[in-house]
Amino acid sequence: MRVPMDSVKLLKVVACAGLVALLCCSGDENPTPVPPGSPPQELALAGASVMIGAGDIAVCGTNGDEATGAIVDSVVKADSVARVTTVVFTIGDNAYPSGSGGVERDFQRCFTGSWGKDRIMKVIRPSPGNHDYDSGTLAPYFAFFGDRAGPAGKGYYSYDVGGWHVIAMNSEVYFESNDPSEAKAQEDWLRKDLAEHRSRCALAYFHRPLFSSGTYGPATEVLGLWRILFAGGVDLVLNGHEHDYERFLPQTPLGVADSVNGVEEIIAGTGGGVLRMVRYPVARNSAAQIHGRFGVLKLILGAGEYSHAFIDTNGRVWDPSRRKCH
């Protein structure tokens, strides 16, 4: 695989001892990029469906979210003409500064002009982040997205895209709620949902990543979710929260590389919020990192396989990859 050299760093994976406490254990402090060549292209799959999105999105007074929203809108428009099934996902922190204070202030004023266009809103499937909770309630989030956000008051739901099962989760019940029963209810629901869809390829998305080389590091509070997803045979997990792009090799919930049954994690908190740097040395099993670029993650979901790539706001394709489902 060839990727541009100036912003992407590909990790030399190094084995590290330890379990959860060492999720930040690293490889080479100065990873060597793959030599540059012709710009990479998206990896197409015949008869596939498309998902496109990012996290950490709408900020009033800036244009990062407008630029990423334009990419999303153009893909949705083109796919509609081509009659390709397309879903737009969000991985939390949909509107800043707080996604609250009334629907009018943050969502209508900030999100509507970038990712809130009619064409996008018809196919959007959001998930909440910590900034969507900053007023202590998700009421403005549910009021804005309506039934596209799943059952009101929960923040988790599932749906199918082509032959894939897709699960939107609420990682914030582990951080914003004072009621432990909310987390248990989500986990019980997740086990049941996965058991009912075990034969399908599956992906899940939620705001906070278990594995990360970014500013905040691993959110170990979501380890329980990861254990359930891993046991349920999920292929891919998407996260935001970190304002960068990072892709991890398939691994177990305890950070052990596993090319057979492991779950691939991709962070794409690049939708419009202030960008941040990846920290070096990078986390164990981190395979690619991009910082300083707004962009979106595009997934192409096929029969028993999938491909993905990061598309920046200059239209450049980064880190294309293709994998088989479990």
Judge whether residue 104 has pLDDT over 60.
Answer: no
> Is residue 209 within 8 Å of residue 243, measured between CB atoms?
no
Provide the CATH topology of domain 46-324.
Purple Acid Phosphatase; chain A, domain 2 (3.60.21)
- pLDDT in the model for residue 29: 33
> Is residue 114 within 8 Å of residue 57, measured between CB atoms?
yes
* Residue 39 confidence class, pLDDT cut points 50, 70, 90: low
- pLDDT in the model for residue 19: 34
Between CA 204 and CA 51 the distance in angstroms is: 12
- pLDDT in the model for residue 96: 85
Strands 295-301 and 49-54, bridge-based pairing = antiparallel
* Residue 179 confidence class, pLDDT cut points 50, 70, 90: confident
Judge whether residue 292 has pLDDT over 60.
Answer: yes
Between CA 37 and CA 301 the distance in angstroms is: 27
Judge whether residue 100 has pLDDT over 60.
Answer: no
Judge whether residue 240 has pLDDT over 60.
Answer: yes
Give 44 or 100, the one with higher predicted confidence: 44
How far, in Å, are 87, 162, 245, 302, 326 from residue 200 at the CA level? 18, 10, 27, 11, 9
Is the model's pTM score more than 0.95? no
Q: Mean of the pLDDT values across residues 262-269?
A: 99
Percentage of the residues of the chain whose pLDDT score is greater than 70: 84
How far, in Å, are 94, 174, 231 from residue 268 at the CA level? 13, 21, 24
Q: How many CB atoms are closer than 10 A to CB 293?
A: 19
Sheet holding 86-90: strands in order across? 124-125, 86-90, 49-54, 295-301, 305-312, 317-324
Between CA 207 and CA 129 the distance in angstroms is: 5
Task: Give the DSSP H or E segment for 224.
Answer: helix 223-231
- pLDDT in the model for residue 15: 29
Q: Which of 18-27, 165-174, 239-248 has the lowest mean pLDDT?
A: 18-27
* Residue 232 confidence class, pLDDT cut points 50, 70, 90: very high
- pLDDT in the model for residue 233: 97
Between CA 95 and CA 62 the distance in angstroms is: 12
Quote the DSSP letter at residue 234.
Answer: -
Residue by residue, DSSP assigns 254-314 as TS-B-TTTPEEEEEE--SSSPP-PPPSSPPTTEEEEE-S--EEEEEEE-SSEEEEEEEETT
Residues 55-79 as b/e (b if ≥16 CB within 10 A, e otherwise) read bbbbbeebebbbbbbbbbbebbeeb
- pLDDT in the model for residue 17: 31
**Helices 180-196 and 223-231: crossing angle, nearest 10°?**
10
Judge whether residue 41 has pLDDT over 80.
Answer: no
Tell me the pLDDT of the chain averaged across its residues.
86
- pLDDT in the model for residue 60: 86
First to last CA, the chain: 22
Token duo for residue 315: 């239209």
Judge whether residue 3 has pLDDT over 50.
Answer: no
Q: Is 324 helix (H, G, I), strand (E, B) or coil?
A: strand
Q: How many CB atoms are closer than 10 A to CB 248?
A: 28
